[in-house]
Amino acid sequence: MRRHYLITGAASGIGLATAVRLSAQHDGECTLTLVDRDAMRLTAAADQLGQTGTHIIHHVCDLADPAAYKDIRIAAEGGGALHGVVSNAGIIHSSKLCDLDIAEYDRVFAINTRAAWLLAKATHALLKQGGGSFVATASVLSEHPGPGIGVYSASKAALVMLVAQLALEWAPDGIRANCVSPGSTWSAMTDAGFADPERRANRERGIPLGRIGTPEETASVIAFLLGDDAAYVTGANIPVDGGFGQALMLNGNPAIVPGGPG
């Protein structure tokens, strides 16, 4: 059976690593619907993956736009029933809450939280047909505040509960829903923060495993949650953080620097 997966934020970082992982896992015998707002990077990703024999559908849109989801559904229908949806796109706006304006607040929640809900609604019928799995990328900061990241933690905490609600409501349809919560991970969103060796070393000192994670390490957990080996897993939030969230008291910890994990 040819599997079909849809991934948002697919042009780089965890999204692209997940696409590469799924393509390799199925030896190119799968269909990937890739969604991102960066047209140039998305085209490059589609070309890269297309060389493996994977059937690629790609769609450029801004997930903050509620009108985008009809077109995402139409694009996905071209690949047939869905076996997995990865709601991965996210943003961080570095700011103290008192300095944040309403437009910035709304955009963080629109992309980090509302987008997962709208994506779930748009793809529900296709997931039900495929007996599929829905996975959202949250963050270790969904359970902890961090200095200078505004409403990022709040938006990811809301995402975790949203997915737990999906798991409850969709279980009768045979659809599982789970989250992964990356810790400090190399990505386009965090590259600027980790490019400085001193800041990176400061962060790594606060991670029990002693290093920044890679997108591929989170992608492997996403692939597990999408697959048959996780057939009895739903409503879970799995940390992929090198022990960061469990081992540290984050409030006031000097290892926490703006730039954000995951």
Per-residue tokens: 261:
């994990």
Give the Cβ contact number of residue 26 at 10 Å: 18
Question: How far apart are alpha carbons 181 and 170 in whole angstroms?
Answer: 21
Kind and range of the H or E element at 86? strand 84-87
- Of 5, 69, 105, 152, catalytic: 152
Q: Output the CA–CA distances (angstroms, integers) from residue 252 to 147, 209, 235, 248, 249, in the order listed.
A: 8, 20, 30, 10, 8
Residue matched to tokens 């965090």? 190
Question: How far apart are alpha carbons 219 and 217 in whole angstroms?
Answer: 5
All residues at 6 or more sequence positions from 215 whose CB lies less than 8 Å from its CB, including other chains: 13, 14, 16, 17, 185, 186, 187
For the question of residue 152 being annotated catalytic, the response is yes
Annotated active-site positions, please?
Answer: 152
